[in-house]
Structure 1
C-alpha cells in the first residue's frame, strides 16, 4: 500500500491560517471524495479562513495554485486525479502538474499540499479517495501536510539585525 510508513502529523496552532483548496473536476466521484476529505481536515484543524475553487483538470492546478499563493494564502492544497490510459498523455500531465506545483511552492514560499492521484487504474484512485471502503484519504492527508508545513514556516524566527548586517543568519 502506498500509505505505508506515512508520518503521523499533529498540527499545533493552525489558527489564523488562510488555506485554499483547488480541485480538478475530472473523475467526479473520486474528486468528491478528495474534496470531502480536505474539507473535513480543515474542520478538524480549526481552519476558518478557507477557499475552495474548482478547475477543469489537473493540468490547470499549478496556475490557480500560484494565483492563490501570491494572494496571501498561507497554504494551498491541490487535488486532482490522473489515470493512466493508452497514450503518453498520462506521463506529460503528471510531470507537468508535479513540476508546476513544486515550482509554485518553491518560488512563492507557500506550501502546496499535493493531493494529485497518479494511478494506473480508476480502482487505485478510488482506494485513495477517502470514500467509504477506501484504504487512504489523500485529500485529508494533503491538507494536513500543507497546514503542518505552514505552521513550521510560521515558527521560523526572524534573523537578528546584526546577523543580517554581517551576512549570516542565526
Structure 2
C-alpha cells in the first residue's frame, strides 16, 4: 500500500484479534513515527490485546516476528528502516529481512504487516514515517494491511466463500 493507487482501507472492529508489533531501534525519529502510526491504527481498529517488542535492527525483525507468530498472535507487524549507505550492507539487510518476514508469514500462516522502510536517504524515511509533514504513514498502513489479512484468513477458516478485506 504505497502512495498513489493505494487501496482505501476501511476501519473495522478487530478487538478480537491479538496483535504483536516488532520494531527495530535504529533511526529513532523515524521509528517513533512508525510506532505512533501503528498504535493509531490499532486504536482505530479497537485492538486491545497487543504487544510491542523492540529489537536492535531490521536484520533481527524476522526471528522475533517468527517467535511471536509461534505464540499464537493473529497478526504480527514488523517495523524498521534501512537507509542506503556506500556499501552493499543495505542490499544484504533489506533482502534478508524481507525474505525472513515472508518466510514467517508462510511458515506460520500468520499475516505479517510489512512496515520495513528501505530508503535511499533519510528524507525518504522521514516522508514515510507518519510524522507531521510526512506524505505517508507506513506504520499505520502495515497494521491496517495485517488486520485486513487476518480478517480474510478468519473468513476462509470459517468457510466463507468470498472473504474480502
Which residue of structure 1 aligns with residue 85 of structure 2? 85
TM-score (norm 1): 0.90
Whole-Å Cα distance in 1 between the matches of residues 20 and 70 of structure 2? 12
Instruction: Describe the SS at the equivalent of 1:10.
Output: coil
Instruction: Describe the SS at the equivalent of 2:5.
Output: coil
For the aligned residue pairs, the C-alpha RMSD in angstroms reads 1.0
TM-score (norm 2): 0.93
Whole-Å Cα distance in 1 between the matches of residues 139 and 63 of structure 2? 19
Whole-Å Cα distance in 2 between the matches of residues 151 and 158 of structure 1? 11
Which residue of structure 1 aligns with residue 111 of structure 2? 111
Whole-Å Cα distance in 1 between the matches of residues 111 and 134 of structure 2? 26
Q: How many residues align?
A: 158
Which residue of structure 2 aligns with residue 16 of structure 1? 16
Whole-Å Cα distance in 2 between the matches of residues 89 and 118 of structure 1? 12
Q: Please tell me whether the aligned partners of residues 11 and 147 of structure 1 are also in contact (alpha carbons under 8 angstroms).
A: no
- 4+ long deviations beyond 4 Å: none
CA 1:73–1:134: 2 relative to 1, 3 Å: same
Which residue of structure 2 aligns with residue 56 of structure 1? 56
